[in-house]
Amino acid sequence: MINAGAIVVASLLKRNCSLSDRFDFVLQQLVKFACNGCVGFNNAVFLSERETADRNYALSYYMREHKCFPPNTNLQRFRALRELRASVYRW
């Protein structure tokens, strides 16, 4: 996904669930999209996403200012989900 789209989608998925439940949901959906193929998690990509996330954080706040998110979206809470999602891959 393009960063802006991934950020908004991550804010909408299972909003009232814990981060771990949201990650499990996203992973299950990606497995379905991959026709039940192998989907994995790349910790190196996750850590890289986290280390270089300043642009995405700035983009999130810009989009919040322009009302791209549902009311009361907690940007701190869902940005970890986007970083996790970026670390999932198909093999």
CATH number at residue 14: 1.10.1500.10
Residue 50 confidence (pLDDT): 81
Q: Name the residue range of residue 63's domain.
A: 3-90
| pLDDT tens digits, one per residue of 21-67 | 988 898 888 889 888 878 888 888 888 878 878 888 888 899 999 99
How confident is the prediction for the chain on average, in pLDDT? 82
Q: If pLDDT is split at 50, 70 and 90, which confidence band does 90 have?
A: low
Residue 88 has pLDDT above 70, yes or no: yes
Q: How many structural domains is the chain composed of?
A: 1
Tell which residue, 58, 71, 84, has the closest CA to residue 12. Answer: 71
